[in-house]
Chain A
Amino acid sequence: MPRPGTETLGLAAGAGAARPAPASARLEDPDADLVRRVGRGDLVAVRALTARKLPRLTSLAARMLGDFAEAEDVAQESLIRAWRQAPVWRFGEARFDTWLHRVAVNLCRDRLRRRRPGGADDLDALVDPGPAPDRGLEARDVGDRVAAAMATLPPRQREAVVLCHYQDLGNIEAAVALGISVEALESLLSRGRRALRAALSDLVR
Chain B
Amino acid sequence: MKVSASARRLDADRIRALAEAFGAEPSRWPEADRAAALAWLEAHPGEGAVLLAEARALDGLLEAWRLPQPAEPLRQRVLGPAPVVVRLARRRSFLMTLGGGAGLAAACLAGVMAAPILLATPAPTPSPAPPAVAATPVGADELLTEALAGWEAPVGEGEADAAS
Contacts and interface: CB of A to CB of B under 8 A. Distances in A.
- A and B found bound together: yes
B156 A146 contact: no
Interface in A69-117: 72, 75-76, 79-80, 83-88
B20 A51 contact: no
Interface residues of A, number: 69
A62 interface: yes
A39 B154 CA distance: 11
A26 to B, nearest CB: 14
A62 B67 contact: yes
Contacts of B89: 39, 83-87
15 contacts: A43-B86, A45-B156, A47-B160, A54-B78, A76-B78, A83-B89, A88-B93, A127-B66, A132-B66, A142-B64, A164-B22, A165-B28, A170-B30, A196-B61, A204-B61
Given A24-B31, A38-B86, A187-B2, A59 B67 contact: yes
Contacts of A197: 54, 58
Interface stretch (B38-46, B69-77, B114-122, B140-148): B69-77
Nearest to B56: A204
A121 interface: no
B17 to A, nearest CB: 7
Chain B interface residue bracket vs A? 35 or more
A130 B2 CA distance: 41
Interface of A: 19, 24, 37-47, 50-51, 54-55, 58-59, 62-63, 72, 75-76, 79-80, 83-88, 126-130, 132, 135, 139-140, 142-143, 145-147, 150, 161, 164-166, 168, 170-172, 182-183, 186-187, 189-190, 193-194, 196-197, 200, 203-205
B87 A41 contact: yes
B30 A194 contact: no
* Best-surrounded residue of B5, B54, B82, B83 (most CB of chain A within 10 A): B82
| Complex A-B, nearest 3 residue pairs according to Cβ-Cβ distance, in ascending order | A87-B93, A43-B160, A41-B155
Interface string B87-127: 11110110010000000000000000000000000000000
Contact of B83 (A40, A43, A58, A182): A43
Contacts of B75: 50-51, 54
Given A43-B83, A182-B30, A189-B21, A129 B68 contact: yes
B67 A128 contact: yes
A161 to B, nearest CB: 8
A193 B156 contact: no
